[in-house]
Structure 1
Amino acid sequence: MGKERNIRWGILSTAKIGVEKVIPAMQQADNCEIVAISSRSVKRAKEAADKLGIGQAVGSYEELLDLPDIDAVYNPLPNHLHVPWSIKALRAGKHVLCEKPIGLSYKEAETLLAEAERHQELKIMEAFMYRHHPRWIKVKELIQKEAIGKLQTVQSFFSYYNVDPENIRNISDIGGGSLMDIGCYCISVPRFLFDEEPKSVIGSLEEDPNLNIDRLSSGILNFPSGSATFTSGTQLAPHQKVKIFGSKGMIELSMPFNAPTDEPTYIHIQIEGKDHTTEIAPCNQFTAQGERFSQAIIEDRPVPTPFEDALKNMQVIDAIIESSISNAKITMTNL
């Protein structure tokens, strides 16, 4: 293991989200040291390492996992490689922070759970970075204190425009599509806020006839304590918003998932007709995520978001797909 308050990280691939967002953010964390990056091309790995000031660059994922001076790996590979390479990382004795969604299906994710249970000395967590932003932590606190009364319903919207057939988000057999890429956030949010699992779901997916991926996804989630609705789309004007309604008021969040890092964010609250705004200081949620996961390793305590949460989110994703195919409400019997 690394020095106290210093977890040594290796990065699986030169994926854009890692190179542009996650790695620079984690390099700002007090307890993270990025020591190596890998790619299937050593040239690409070296280019990324030089750009980011990373000491080691290797030309295969296997070689990275064999490095003895790596405590943990970040896995931002395409969705179909999340489970197999996270399993390989665990078998190599590395802690794992894996991008969302955790896998292509609940059944596949269960194989990762089985491996994690064989390596209980290692930590594994799905990288839903929004949950580590202090704005969301504050919102969860407001909900728990019933600042807007009893939570009733949550509305989420997340969209962008991308029709590039070469983009991994538009390749169906590697887990592309709206639901897997951004709809998963809209499922995670109400589960996080209600702190319970849906009893049933209804889903509707519109497929792009050429790309064969869902370009527009909508769903209704029925919880024991309320409901949630969402829409996500990959061929829409870019937009993000979450609205949270209680019995006495509502909370509205702009840019809830890709919060700016260099300016304050805001929680807009309306209670009994009166508007209030809470300002949250600038924060990089990727830095916070890396710090919190690394600290869990250092202190050998549970990670901020347990792996079971990733499994349950995946189960809801599966149900949304099943509902769209069968044109029927799906009862969540196993949650």
Structure 2
Amino acid sequence: MTRQIRWGVLGCAGIAVKTVIPAIQSSRLGRVTAIASRNGDKARQMAERFGIARAYGSYEDLLADPEIDAIYNPLPNHLHVPLTIRALQQGKPVLCEKPIALDAQEAGTLLDAQKAAGLPVAEAFMVRHHPQWKQAKALIAEGRLGEVGAIQTIFSYYLDDPGNIRNQADIGGGGLFDVGCYAINTARYLFDAEPLRAIALIERDPAFDTDRLVSGLLAFPKGRQLAFTCSTQLALTQKITVLGTRGRLEIPVPFNAPADLPTRLVLDDGRDLDGGGRIEIAVEAVDQYREQADAFCDAVLFGTPLATGLEDAIANMKVIDALFRSAENGRWEEP
């Protein structure tokens, strides 16, 4: 019988509590056996809520626990690299929330630590573990869209709470880090290529100084393009359209696909504007967070390659850096 990975969770972030901890607890290969918070009472409450054996009042105590096999790091963005490095130094592989770092240079220091430790580190892009994305890429590879030329992506929500970490610029808040990164990651995945140059417009919140509205354009090889808009202060929206010479593909709920309901892809051959060539492709219900947890456990236990390892994470981070530079100088920038 394959042994299970004993997970330790750093902090009580919303994504951990709402999705990732329940997903790990129901996974094939792992269980959460410890949780830490700088507020010990909060850690104990979460431990009781999820049936977690141990609660710690400091991150360091959890990282030093010899009975923890792997770490999930959903802390605020500025703590991704330092706490992941500390975990590696304690001999523990890490699944770290996106973005992996605040810039590509910082991510490079994490890569150095990962190589020294010889342990897996993955960026938690759960979408890469949902079958709707694998199906979308297969349809493109089969030529169902003809020659693919463009992807258009929208990802937005409205959040004006000043206490929320997404609205705190000094710890890595803002739309590009939080949701724009998905547009970049999934375009790189579908095109199976890295962008050559990037340009962006950014509108910042006057009080928070976070990038609350970002529109970007990425130029890929073979003339392909990604155009995306992300926002932390516009109506809740998620949508991706992939355009080819013989059809288009829509992913109606690309990022936060429900764990308990089927999703669908919409394929249209473009014969008219009334949906005459439209078909819907059903995709089974999948908890993408559970799939992500098991994929990481596979990497730890069996050396299975990671879908979003550090090299992939750094490539994504370089594009984000280029977009920020472009917004400052008004020019195209190379990642």
**TM score, norm. by length of structure 1:** 0.96
- Could you tell me whether the CA contact under 8 Å between 2:239 and 2:250 is conserved in 1? yes
**2:58 paired residue number:** 60
**1:245 paired residue number:** 243
Whole-angstrom CA distance in 2 between matches of 1:284 and 1:267: 17
- Could you tell me whether the CA contact under 8 Å between 2:248 and 2:270 is conserved in 1? no
Q: Deviations over 1:115-135 (max 9, x none)?
A: 011012x11100000110011
C-alpha displacement at 1:5, in angstroms?
4.1
Whole-angstrom CA distance in 2 between matches of 1:300 and 1:223: 31
Whole-angstrom CA distance in 1 between matches of 2:144 and 2:116: 42
- Could you tell me whether the CA contact under 8 Å between 2:88 and 2:113 is conserved in 1? yes
Q: Deviations over 1:26-46 (max 9, x none)?
A: 111110111100000110000
**1:257 paired residue number:** 255
One-letter code aligned to 1:187: I
**2:283 paired residue number:** 280
Between the aligned residues of both structures, percent identity stands at 46
C-alpha displacement at 1:303, in angstroms?
1.6
Q: Unaligned 5+ residue runs, structure 1?
A: none
Superposition RMSD in Å: 1.0
Whole-angstrom CA distance in 2 between matches of 1:27 and 1:141: 31
Whole-angstrom CA distance in 1 between matches of 2:3 and 2:187: 33
**1:126 paired residue number:** 123
**2:40 paired residue number:** 42
C-alpha displacement at 1:271, in angstroms?
1.9
| 2:222 is the alignment partner of 1:219 | no
**2:148 paired residue number:** 151
- Could you tell me whether the CA contact under 8 Å between 2:128 and 2:307 is conserved in 1? no
C-alpha displacement at 1:300, in angstroms?
1.9
**2:274 paired residue number:** none
Whole-angstrom CA distance in 2 between matches of 1:49 and 1:92: 22
**2:177 paired residue number:** 180
Whole-angstrom CA distance in 1 between matches of 2:305 and 2:117: 14
What does 1:10-159 align with in structure 2 at a 5 Å threshold? 10-120=8-118, 122-159=119-156
SS at match of 1:212: coil
- Could you tell me whether the CA contact under 8 Å between 1:293 and 1:304 is conserved in 2? no
Whole-angstrom CA distance in 1 between matches of 2:303 and 2:175: 36
SS at match of 1:330: coil
SS at match of 2:80: helix
**TM score, norm. by length of structure 2:** 0.96
Following TM superposition, the consecutive aligned residue runs of length 4 or more in structure 1 with deviations greater than 6 angstroms are none
